[in-house]
Amino acid sequence: MTLDTAIKLDIRPMAGAIGAEIHGVDLLNDQSPELIQDIRDVWLEHGVVAFRDQPLEPASFQAFAEQFGETVEYPFVKGLDDFPKIMPVLKLPHERNNFGGVWHTDTAYLKTPPMATMLIAREIPSEGGDTMFASGYAAYEALSPGLKQTLEGLTAVNCSAKAEVTKTREDRIADSATSQARETLTGEHPVVRTHPETGRKSLYVNPAHTTHFVGWTEQESAPLLEFLFAHQIKPEFTCRFRWQPDSIVLWDNRCTLHYPINDYHGHRRLLHRITLKGDTPK
């Protein structure tokens, strides 16, 4: 982070390994290239950046997201009628499953998973509904040299149809499905991913989508994957964000996992989501 960035922005880390809130900005009236670059620098350093009290309507929200990259549609659930690249992340009071309610990186089953995801809070329960984030950098760096060497040569298979994550989509598939909603998508990616902008290595598997290693059976893969899944969400690698209306969070899908906590049954929660196009993991 440059000295200019430190002066311009009020940056408050969420935890030791990941996440920062940025205060003192008005995204409704200032989306200057200079500000966007400063935010991007903080985002690349911390993996997750959050803003409070940013009342951006869909057009402004999409314009803000487009400052960071190309926006793309989510494959399984329809977006807003007037803004198809903005997807409602909704849980209704009578529903028991929350969308994406398992630790994951977004759509790792795609050949080119997204670079980033941005959410803005529209309706939030009075308590509950926080989102946790975990650093793939910190998880990788804490591994032993021997295990790092083993993982460097492995490729993981990621599938959209693992039962645990499929269950979290059921309510939205029932009322907002796209034509792809019943397809099974699969992507193969390196277990250790090198970030194309920072050059740092990250552990790139996740419980929601990773099924096995290429050349291994699922049974052979299971013990090592279960170890990695538990390891990558150790408390010291995580932060927790409490939503308020008009909060915005942007996370780097190339080096983080996230988990929306499902502890607000009987309440309505609505966020709007935009996904940013990524590249092929290497």
What separation in angstroms does the CA of 6 have from each of 153, 177, 213, 251?
39, 44, 42, 20
Backbone φ and ψ for 247, nearest 5 degrees, come out as: -75, 145
Q: Can you spell out the DSSP letters for 125-146?
A: -SS---EEEEEHHHHHHTS-HH
User: How far does Cα 61 stand from its chain's mean position?
Assistant: 17
d(Cα 215, Cα 157) in Å, to the nearest integer?
A: 10
d(Cα 277, Cα 66) in Å, to the nearest integer?
A: 10
What are the helix and strand counts (H, E) for the chain? 7, 16
Beta-strand relationship, 48-51 and 20-23: parallel
**Distance between terminal CA atoms of the chain?**
25
User: What amino acid positions are annotated as catalytic residues?
Assistant: 104, 106, 258, 273
d(Cα 136, Cα 113) in Å, to the nearest integer?
A: 15
